[in-house]
Amino acid sequence: MKKFATLLLVPILLLLGACKSIQSEPVEAMVISDCTGVYLQIEGLDYLVCNQNLVKSKVGQSVKVSFEKISECPEFKNKAVCLMYHKNEGLVRISALY
């Protein structure tokens, strides 16, 4: 019985872990910006936007977005970055703007 429970539990945990990084349901976010980049602020947490061109004109506005957490952002390669620190929850790529 323990073996069956383990076989059932492992795939469920893997699925839950994989789903954490993708926000497929639209969420309300405030678009904020400083010299370090453009961020989505959701429930008091800031997420650095990789494809900033989608929301750069929406700074200071509330938007509905779907996004995916990512580990690397090719758009930031060879880009000058200001030396100010902006605490954030990681990189995101916006998949849809509503």
Residue 58 or residue 20, greater confidence: 58
Residue identified by tokens 């758009």 is 75
Sign of CA pseudo-dihedral 77, 80, 83, 85: negative
**Distance in angstroms (rounded) separating the CA atoms of residues 60 and 87:** 18
Q: How confident is the model at residue 49 (pLDDT cuts 50, 70, 90)?
A: very high
**Cα-Cα-Cα-Cα dihedral sign, residues 64, 54, 74, 76:** negative
User: What's the pTM?
Assistant: 0.75
Helices (H), the chain: 2-20
Q: Comparing 7 with 47, which gets the higher pLDDT?
A: 47
Q: Mean pLDDT across the stretch 54-80?
A: 94
